[in-house]
């Protein structure tokens, strides 16, 4: 393993992604450097939403990569590989999970975790990436601000060893990163699409001020969601539509 070969453990940190940014601003850490916080108190998710995690209970980490082989238009493949690695890791624990587009991990209709990736670019390629991962492992009670959280311990009815979880997840992440590095985009597309939450089902979407019933048909290479509305399939970014996942 080279992911996590350099492992920085922090008792307290506002955000492991923020810490990774600080490292990158000062030097060039070895690829695969991982930062883990036992207590992360300013974690964030997609669109600046807060990621609230109980101290010492969950997997909150960031990994630094240098995917300079990856074109800007293909950057969503990083999101794909992290999500697939999470699903594979959870399956190894006996927990079934799905990827809720674009970057959340669900067990049934409840949220287990999420991914936040921040990239730097050089010309038409990526130069560095910070993969931020939050996964509820042993937390049993959650902040009332969170609408639908769940943890691995709740699903399995037992606590897990966090060090084991970190090591096994990083092994899965490394496997899928090497698949990306090898250029096997089709394998990543397949792994991502077959694990999509509510794929092939009817969902409600708000588009251009109107609510439509749509069939979720998949996700494009670029990360756009593909929806069939009124017998016509089109693709949308997460800024163009609002999805009501649990209403159909």
**Mean pLDDT value of segment 171-189:** 97
pTM tops 0.85: yes
Q: What is the pLDDT of residue 50?
A: 57
Reading phi first (left if > 0) and then psi (alpha if -120 to 50, else beta), residue 30 is in: beta
Digit-coded pLDDT (tens) for 87-105: 999 999 999 999 999 999 9
In this prediction, residue 48 has a pLDDT band, given cuts at 50, 70 and 90, of low
Could you give the C-alpha distances from 74 to 145, 185, 219, in angstroms and in order? 34, 10, 13
Question: Are 51 and 43 in contact, with CB atoms under 8 Å apart?
Answer: yes
Q: What contacts 211, CB < 8 A, 6 or more positions away?
A: 204, 205, 244
Domain with CATH 3.30.930.10 in the chain: 7-193
- Its sign, for the CA torsion 48, 50, 55, 60, is negative
Could you give the C-alpha distances from 124 to 47, 118, 119, 220, in angstroms and in order? 24, 16, 12, 20
Give the integer Cα–Cα distance in Å for 113 and 194: 19
In this prediction, residue 42 has a pLDDT band, given cuts at 50, 70 and 90, of low
The residue count for the chain: 248
**Mean pLDDT value of segment 14-23:** 94
Query: Quick one: which H or E segment has residue 90?
Result: helix 76-93
Domain with CATH 2.30.30 in the chain: 202-244
Digit-coded pLDDT (tens) for 197-235: 999 999 999 998 899 999 999 999 999 999 999 999 999
Digit-coded pLDDT (tens) for 150-171: 999 999 999 999 999 999 999 9
**Mean pLDDT value of segment 127-144:** 93
Which position has the higher pLDDT, 38 or 169? Answer: 169
Question: Are 99 and 197 in contact, with CB atoms under 8 Å apart?
Answer: yes
Give the integer Cα–Cα distance in Å for 70 and 229: 32
In the CATH scheme, what is the code of domain 202-244? 2.30.30
Fold of 7-193: BirA Bifunctional Protein; domain 2 (3.30.930)
Query: Residue 47 pLDDT > 50, yes or no?
Result: no
């Amino acid at each position: 393993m080279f992911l996590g070969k350099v492992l920085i453990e922090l008792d307290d940190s506002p955000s492991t992604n923020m810490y990774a940014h600080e490292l990158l601003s000062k030097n060039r850490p070895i690829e695969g450097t991982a930062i883990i916080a036992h207590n992360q108190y300013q974690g964030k998710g997609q669109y600046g939403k807060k990621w609230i995690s109980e101290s010492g209970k969950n997997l909150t980490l960031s990994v630094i990569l240098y995917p300079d082989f990856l074109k800007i238009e293909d950057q969503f493949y990083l999101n794909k590989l992290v999500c697939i690695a999470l699903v594979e890791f959870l399956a190894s624990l006996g927990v079934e999970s799905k990827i809720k587009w674009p970057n959340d991990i669900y067990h049934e209709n409840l949220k287990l975790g999420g991914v936040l990736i921040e990239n730097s670019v050089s010309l038409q390629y990526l130069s560095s990436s910070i993969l931020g991962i939050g996964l509820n492992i042993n937390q049993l009670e959650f902040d009332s601000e969170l609408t639908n959280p769940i943890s691995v311990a709740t699903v399995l009815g037992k606590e897990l060893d966090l060090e084991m979880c970190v090591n096994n997840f990083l092994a899965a992440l490394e496997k899928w990163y090497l698949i990306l590095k090898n250029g096997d985009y089709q394998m990543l597309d397949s792994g991502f699409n077959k694990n999509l939450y509510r794929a092939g089902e009817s969902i409600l979407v708000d588009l251009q001020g109107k609510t439509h019933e749509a069939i979720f048909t998949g996700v494009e290479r670029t990360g756009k969601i593909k929806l069939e509305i009124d017998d016509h399939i089109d693709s949308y970014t997460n800024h163009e539509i609002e999805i009501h996942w649990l209403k159909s």
